[in-house]
Amino acid sequence: MSQQRRLFEPPVPPEAWEQAAERDCLVAELVFNLPRLDSYHYLVPDDLRDLIQPGQRVRVPFGRGNTLTTGYCVSVGADAPTSRRLKSVAEIVDREPLLSPAMLELTRWIADRYLCGWGQVLEGVVPAGVKKQAGTREITCYALAKDAAERLAALRLPARQQAVIAVLQRSEGPVAVDQLAEAASCGTSPIHALRDKRLIVPIRHRRSTMADDEPAPPRAADLILNAVQARAHDRILIPLRESRHETILLHGVTGSGKTELYIRAIREVVSYGRQAIVLVPEISLTPQTIRRFRSRFASVAVLHSHLSDAERHWHWQRIARGEVEVVVGARSAVFAPAPHLGVIVLDEEHETTFKQNSTPRYHAREVARERARRERIPLILGSATPTLESFLRAQQGLDVLVSLPNRVEQRPLPPVVLVDTRNDPLTTRGHSLSRPLQHAVQRAIEDGGQVILFLNLRGYSPVLWCIRCADGVKCPDCDVSMTWHRDRGRLMCHSCEFEMPPPERCPACGQPGLKFLGAGTQRLEAEVRHKFPDARVLRMDSDSMRRPGSHDAALDRFRQGEVDILLGTQMIAKGLDFPNVTLVGVVDADTMLHQPDLRAAERTFQLIAQVAGRTGRGDRGGRVLVQTMSPDDPVIQLSVDHDYLSFAARELAQRQESGAPPFRTLARIVLRGEREELVRGESRRLANVFRESARPYGDELRILGPAPAPVLKLKKHYRYHCQASSPEVGPLLDWWKQVEPLLALPDGVELAIDVDPLDLR
């Protein structure tokens, strides 16, 4: 630091001059839970110098009022930017860093990639239970103050206090207050006296109070891999043994033995003393999956959404200490602090629940890819119906494609039969089950098999229709039809949970004559019970499965054979393995097909393939009936043939032609507010700013919009959106970082940006 530069600094009190002259200032770089891309610098006072570490939270004066605010320390350095006076860190919140340097870097990447604040990512990914140190008891530890040695030379202390100092001088780290008192054979008053003299400093410390984990199921041996599995296994082992990153897309139909391969890959990394993370959709975190991993590995941590804060914190600590071999969890388990990770597996990679729908709007697959790249380990993606994003990467040779084309033990994929509901004698009269499906259910039950009926609409009737307005009764707060829930006698909005009794007259035109139209799972249940009075029927949807644990209990009953017909929403479509299911009925295959969504075809294909995968798993075979009003639709046709490759080729060609993902990276910018005029006006103004600022990028950056969002009104807010896209993600991110600071939004309008959006409503 030269004298000259100091001349330009604002006036500084003399003590600060001295401090700065004696040694370099220590400066902490902080980020806050704010949608800001930049960071802040604070001076670290001397007594915190040795305690502060990146990854800890600290409290600092912030903003004009200097209110004490919590921020995350992301780096500590001596190179103080001396051109301005910095405020000082007031206190350190966490004794230990909440995140390792590697995880800090990963969260920074997320902020960059998904265009949000680094502090927002940190706030979002560290579980609340970890921040609160839930389930642990606070104790106070003491350490010698840094300048204690010098000051002690010039001091004469009472004997008891000297004893305390002596204990601390002998010990390697901070000592808990009770142990300190015992070792120094004194009470706490000498300790407090030393604290008041600032010769020793208190440090808060937490001790875990969690009990041990539940007992493991009996251990099971590994299966002998069949020839196709063995070949796939050999391929997966290559990057593992060479410790390099590679993403392997394991494309295998349901029941082809993918999970067995994950287990083998994990077995390998565990033998190197490393850990594995297995990411699954929350919905498939069933006891069945958990048992399968627990029976194969000595220590498995399962991170599901029903964990208490204390449990989550306890698992987090065990994982961080390297005591856990396998972490199984939903999306956020990608942040599990495994110290020496060997592989990441992401099962059912096509599931949309891997994308978070609130800030930070990350996709666990992309975060897993980045983490695996940084840690030089493989990432295994598994699916029967890979996303076109993943499939294209494999086709382009960026990732490795490994296929398991058949089910294990030559079990065939079930035959899929289409039922045209446009001229069926029953469906045209308003029944949910067509004549062929009704007969098939009858026969399956008579033969002692089990039946799954899938319908992706909850409630009794999705629409209460006014013949005069030719429109459904809508939620007053949302642009969404109200669903009739007969069991509660209420209309419900599935977007905002608003409820009301059904009106006698149309709220729009005031006329009587409202009609219930269409069928949801409740109505399907009534029809099934009526048609098969002797069958044991169970409905599974988010209404009937409200209590925690009810989902698992219901599936258990079905597996035990206590239920003949299981009907429900997507809750039953995924990942379940029931050998006795001989019939699956898709009650309405068209619900997804006609959505205004670029992935409507992909979702329809996935859905039919997934549902079909629920049957034919045992020795008795099985079949699938799909009811549709569009039997000639090519997507439906290809799903009947289980022909993923043709579907992917066809759909990729269409996406390429329309410049849609995966050929371009998309970002959706949504403006929302309670005053529609204001939101619409702002969306026009911003779209102009976007287009203007995008001009230098030429065709690298395309702006679409503004347009009203497909669901214009949601929870009282009107929504307009724009889309930006670029062939590679780079220009898009670069552009947004330039344009974002220029967007001065008026009060009453909020903006959200979603990179790689999956929800386009």
Binding site for ligand ADP (CB under 6 A): 223-226, 229, 252, 254-260, 408
Q: Which of 147, 140, 146, 127 is nearest to 337 (CA)?
A: 127
Q: Which of 336, 343, 353 is nearest to 387 (CA)?
A: 353
At closest approach, how far in Å is the CB of 364 from ligand ADP? 18
Binding of Zn ion at residue 496 (CB under 5 A)? yes
**Closer residue to ligand ADP, CB minimum distance, 382 or 661:** 382
Binding of Zn ion at residue 112 (CB under 5 A)? no
Spatial contact of 604 and 593, defined as CB atoms under 8 Å apart: yes
Buried b (16+ CB within 10 A) or exposed e, 344-359: bbbbbbbbebbbbeeb
Task: Please spell the DSSP secondary structure of 185-220, one letter per residue.
Answer: T--SHHHHHHHHTTSEEEEEEEEE---PPPPPPPP-
| Separation CA 601–CA 663 (nearest Å) | 17
The verdict on whether omega for the bond into residue 11 sits within 30 degrees of 0, i.e. cis, is: no
At closest approach, how far in Å is the CB of 213 from ligand ADP? 24
Taking the CA atoms of residue 541, residue 547, residue 552 and residue 555 in that order, the dihedral angle to the nearest 10 degrees is: -40
Q: Crossing angle of helices 729-739/101-113, nearest 10°?
A: 80
Binding of Zn ion at residue 477 (CB under 5 A)? yes
Position among 99, 141, 384, 478 found at the interface with Zn ion (CB under 5 A)? 478
Beta bridge partners of 461: 484
At closest approach, how far in Å is the CB of 226 from ligand ADP? 5
The size of the chain, in residues, is 761
Q: Which of 433, 458, 491, 419 is nearest to 568 (CA)?
A: 458
**Closer residue to Zn ion, CB minimum distance, 276 or 475:** 475
> Is 252 strand, coil or helix?
strand
- Cβ-based neighbours of 402, under 8 Å, separated by 6 or more: 232, 235, 236, 248, 249, 250, 251
DSSP character for 39?
Answer: -
Binding at 495: pick from Zn ion, ligand ADP, none (beta carbon under 5-8 Å per type): Zn ion
**Closer residue to Zn ion, CB minimum distance, 543 or 740:** 543
Which among 146-154, 254-262, 493-501, 505-513 is the span making contact with Zn ion, rule CB under 5 A? 493-501
Binding at 260: pick from ligand ADP, Zn ion, none (beta carbon under 5-8 Å per type): ligand ADP
Beta bridge partners of 174: none
**Closer residue to ligand ADP, CB minimum distance, 255 or 673:** 255
Which among 61-69, 165-173, 321-329, 468-476 is the span making contact with Zn ion, rule CB under 5 A? 468-476
Separation in Å, CA 97 to CA 103, 256, 477, 562 = 11, 43, 43, 50
At closest approach, how far in Å is the CB of 459 from Zn ion? 14
Spatial contact of 203 and 51, defined as CB atoms under 8 Å apart: yes
Which among 84-92, 390-398, 477-485, 739-747 is the span making contact with Zn ion, rule CB under 5 A? 477-485
Position among 495, 542, 595, 637 found at the interface with Zn ion (CB under 5 A)? 495
Binding at 68: pick from Zn ion, ligand ADP, none (beta carbon under 5-8 Å per type): none
At closest approach, how far in Å is the CB of 475 from Zn ion? 3
Binding of Zn ion at residue 499 (CB under 5 A)? no
At closest approach, how far in Å is the CB of 715 from Zn ion? 6
Which among 387-395, 491-499, 574-582, 610-618 is the span making contact with Zn ion, rule CB under 5 A? 491-499
**Tokens encoding 434:** 């067509």
**Closer residue to ligand ADP, CB minimum distance, 59 or 411:** 411
Which among 472-480, 693-701, 723-731, 753-761 is the span making contact with Zn ion, rule CB under 5 A? 472-480
Binding at 705: pick from ligand ADP, Zn ion, none (beta carbon under 5-8 Å per type): none
**Closer residue to ligand ADP, CB minimum distance, 120 or 254:** 254
Binding of Zn ion at residue 475 (CB under 5 A)? yes
Separation in Å, CA 82 to CA 8, 16, 77, 173, 356 = 10, 12, 13, 34, 40
- Cβ-based neighbours of 674, under 8 Å, separated by 6 or more: 716, 717, 718, 748
At closest approach, how far in Å is the CB of 407 from ligand ADP? 7
Binding of Zn ion at residue 492 (CB under 5 A)? no
Position among 118, 262, 391, 498 found at the interface with Zn ion (CB under 5 A)? 498
**Closer residue to Zn ion, CB minimum distance, 292 or 474:** 474
Binding of Zn ion at residue 493 (CB under 5 A)? yes
At closest approach, how far in Å is the CB of 352 from ligand ADP? 19
Binding at 42: pick from Zn ion, ligand ADP, none (beta carbon under 5-8 Å per type): none
Counting Cα atoms < 13 Å in the Cβ hemisphere of 555 gives 21
Interface ranges with Zn ion (CB under 5 A): 475, 477-478, 493, 495-496, 498
